[in-house]
A and B are shown apart, each in its own frame.
Chain A
């Protein structure tokens, strides 16, 4: 991961270029489920060509926030802008059509289906008309093979089941699918949390490639190391609120870590365990 040169460049760029519209901007989003306040005022924005890391411990509201961004939930109040325009999504489909694609940790791929069928699931290209309208399988296979090649997954046969791929490869296929279908913003829900070291670096590397293509990425994680490896800015959530957004140059890993966990207790624990947690 030798991306430091780029990140510093980027920091300067983001600082000077405040005029361009954010791909996604939310202001003071509030979401209630009955008496439960899941989001109590969250603000964030993500620009093209950057990875915004969304950090927070369990229960901080990360899931609710991404479900709101991806059209599963409607916010109770607050502003939600996509490329400067107000939006209100009724379904995940609406969000997809607006260019916001979400890759859920376990719910992105169907293990029993082939890579090709997964890749085109929900957006199958057809040829022919009337009762002879059919899947263009030749085209699907060719595209799938090319896209897999592009991200460096050695797919011998696009008909092999997704279940035969490793966890990291599955995440990469899911991301490649979103990119192929024209996503402008990619929301990644803990893509590395269940992965080993080699798999994680594979996914992080691919996230960086996607960012370099000019997409905006919202990377949800509770691992600050993974976040700092690819992220340019970090938004920290705690108990349904944003604690703040920091550029990479403004904050250290330890500060991020303690901010995320609410600080004090974790330092005490770290002391007891004679090391960092």
Chain B
């Protein structure tokens, strides 16, 4: 000890031989997303033996990725919020409510698509800020506050749709903006031309009429990947990311160090709401209509995907890329079961079991990381 304390500081040029001793396994275990990646590999192995081979064709994979993407956008945002130490149970209902706002903006207010989307995101951001401020000012658990909003927003979506259309659905939204040049950014498939070309060359499977069996990459998948990458960048490589970890890890210690914890948390609630609004825009424009049940129970699935992705329920630890893989596991299993002889209702059993295993695994990893007993 005493020798070490008087040792000169190593200069930038010199190399400290003690730095290389962290074993690879320890370094891997420290990555929160490891569990989700391992889980995905296991799931794929399972389906490789049980599912029909069509599941692993290009079009099969696109079928899996599409629902993964819708859930994944929510899951990545939920993961950031969980790392920041809070929950948002209202995001599923928020999808339906944002769908209603989008529908009203396009059909009743006759706004152009861009403006309608901006209005939808603004309303979502406002509601997210309300959630955040309620949690911060009342110091109630976010679980309770957002549970209230789960019902409030679902109820408002039902009532609002009935008042607007007399039913719990609103149709013709896509048709009303069919000429908008922006439509291609939010619905349909990307790289259609590339896929057609590849099908002509025989690289990917073509239908009898010459069109590719997979028409392209669903737009929502690109949004999902981009969102996960940006979230990971923010989390790991920006000041804001450090503040998110700190706010969730120990808000008092973070405040003592000058981290604006309340601002970080409010921004995260706004982000989850806006991610729900983005999912609403993508799915409503894809389907052409909205429905009061849109996003039903997605809040739980998003939280489960985040937990599978390595987020601790207590905050301060987790990863966006983990939630990305968590959501893909979800999509793979929910769609994959239809390629097998199993009853697809096994999905729910799988869901619960996966959650349990993930939580146990995460707790174990946390003890390893922090050395606590």
Q: Which of A120, A161, A162 contacts B242 (CB 8 A)?
A: A120
Q: Which of B199-250 contact A (CB under 8 A)?
A: 233, 237-239, 241-243, 245-246, 249-250
Q: Are B19 and A156 closer than 8 Å at their CB atoms?
A: yes
Q: Are A146 and B10 closer than 8 Å at their CB atoms?
A: yes
The chain B residue with its CB closest to the CB of A206 is: B5
What total count of A-B pairs have CB within 8 Å?
121
Hey, which chain A residues are within 8 Å of B253, CB to CB? 104, 107-110, 121
Total residues of chain A contacting the partner, CB 8 A: 45
Hey, which chain A residues are within 8 Å of B137, CB to CB? none
The chain B residue with its CB closest to the CB of A116 is: B242
Q: Which of B19, B241, B255, B369 contacts A112 (CB 8 A)?
A: B369
**Secondary structure of the B side of the interface?**
helix
B355 located at the interface, meaning its Cβ lies under 8 Å from any Cβ of chain A in the complex:
no
A113 located at the interface, meaning its Cβ lies under 8 Å from any Cβ of chain B in the complex:
yes
Q: Which of A87-133 contact B (CB under 8 A)?
A: 92-93, 96, 102, 104, 107-113, 117, 120-124, 126, 133
Q: Which of A138-170 contact B (CB under 8 A)?
A: 142, 145-147, 149-154, 156-157, 159-164
Known: A133-B238, A202-B1. A113 touches B16 (CB 8 A): no
Hey, which chain B residues are within 8 Å of A133, CB to CB? 238-239
Nearest Cβ in chain B — how far from A131, in angstroms?
10
**Which of the candidate stretches B113-121, B157-165, B256-264 sits at the interface with the other chain?**
B256-264
Q: Are A113 and B249 closer than 8 Å at their CB atoms?
A: yes
Output the residue of B5, B246, B312, B372 with the most chain A CB within 10 A: B5
Known: A117-B245, A121-B246, A123-B258. A110 touches B316 (CB 8 A): yes
B109 located at the interface, meaning its Cβ lies under 8 Å from any Cβ of chain A in the complex:
no
Q: Which of A92, A110, A142, A164 contacts B12 (CB 8 A)?
A: A142
A277 located at the interface, meaning its Cβ lies under 8 Å from any Cβ of chain B in the complex:
no
A111–B259 Cα distance when bound, in Å, is: 16
Known: A117-B245, A149-B7. A92 touches B255 (CB 8 A): yes
Nearest Cβ in chain B — how far from A194, in angstroms?
15
A32 located at the interface, meaning its Cβ lies under 8 Å from any Cβ of chain B in the complex:
no
Hey, which chain A residues are within 8 Å of B372, CB to CB? 111, 163
Known: A112-B249, A112-B317, A133-B238. A107 touches B256 (CB 8 A): yes
Q: Which of B1-47 contact A (CB under 8 A)?
A: 1-2, 4-7, 9-10, 12, 16, 18-19, 21-22, 30
Hey, which chain A residues are within 8 Å of B9, CB to CB? 146-147, 149-150
Known: A96-B258, A107-B250, A110-B249. A157 touches B19 (CB 8 A): yes
Hey, which chain B residues are within 8 Å of A209, CB to CB? 5
Output the residue of B4, B18, B239, B256 with the most chain A CB within 10 A: B256
A212 located at the interface, meaning its Cβ lies under 8 Å from any Cβ of chain B in the complex:
no
Known: A133-B238, A163-B372. A154 touches B245 (CB 8 A): no
Nearest Cβ in chain A — how far from B243, in angstroms?
8
Q: Are A164 and B370 closer than 8 Å at their CB atoms?
A: yes
A152–B4 Cα distance when bound, in Å, is: 5
B366 located at the interface, meaning its Cβ lies under 8 Å from any Cβ of chain A in the complex:
yes
B252 located at the interface, meaning its Cβ lies under 8 Å from any Cβ of chain A in the complex:
yes
Q: Are B237 and A137 closer than 8 Å at their CB atoms?
A: yes
A107–B261 Cα distance when bound, in Å, is: 14
A85 located at the interface, meaning its Cβ lies under 8 Å from any Cβ of chain B in the complex:
no
Hey, which chain A residues are within 8 Å of B233, CB to CB? 134
A190–B300 Cα distance when bound, in Å, is: 43
Taking residues whose C-beta sits less than 8 angstroms from the other chain, chain B's interface range is: 35 or more
Nearest Cβ in chain A — how far from B15, in angstroms?
11
Q: Are A154 and B370 closer than 8 Å at their CB atoms?
A: no
B351 located at the interface, meaning its Cβ lies under 8 Å from any Cβ of chain A in the complex:
no
Known: A120-B242, A149-B7. A163 touches B371 (CB 8 A): yes
Hey, which chain A residues are within 8 Å of B243, CB to CB? 122
The chain A residue with its CB closest to the CB of B237 is: A134
A162–B372 Cα distance when bound, in Å, is: 11
B254 located at the interface, meaning its Cβ lies under 8 Å from any Cβ of chain A in the complex:
yes
Known: A121-B246, A163-B370. A156 touches B10 (CB 8 A): no
Known: A145-B19, A146-B9, A159-B30. A108 touches B256 (CB 8 A): yes
A123–B252 Cα distance when bound, in Å, is: 16
The chain B residue with its CB closest to the CB of A92 is: B256
Nearest Cβ in chain A — how far from B11, in angstroms?
8
The chain A residue with its CB closest to the CB of B12 is: A142
Hey, which chain B residues are within 8 Å of A122, CB to CB? 243, 246, 254, 257-259
Hey, which chain B residues are within 8 Å of A159, CB to CB? 22, 30
Hey, which chain A residues are within 8 Å of B19, CB to CB? 145, 156-157
Q: Are A121 and B242 closer than 8 Å at their CB atoms?
A: yes
Q: Are B21 and A134 closer than 8 Å at their CB atoms?
A: no
Q: Are B30 and A152 closer than 8 Å at their CB atoms?
A: no
Q: Which of B87-121 contact A (CB under 8 A)?
A: none
Q: 9 smallest A-B Cβ distances: which pairs?
A: A163-B370, A152-B5, A122-B258, A110-B249, A122-B257, A152-B4, A124-B239, A164-B371, A157-B22
Q: A112-B245, A149-B4 are in contact. List 12 more A-B contacts (CB 8 A).
A: A96-B258, A112-B312, A112-B317, A121-B246, A121-B259, A122-B243, A122-B258, A126-B238, A133-B238, A134-B238, A160-B22, A163-B372
A sample of 7 inter-chain contacts (CB < 8 A) reads A96-B258, A111-B370, A121-B246, A160-B22, A161-B369, A163-B372, A206-B5
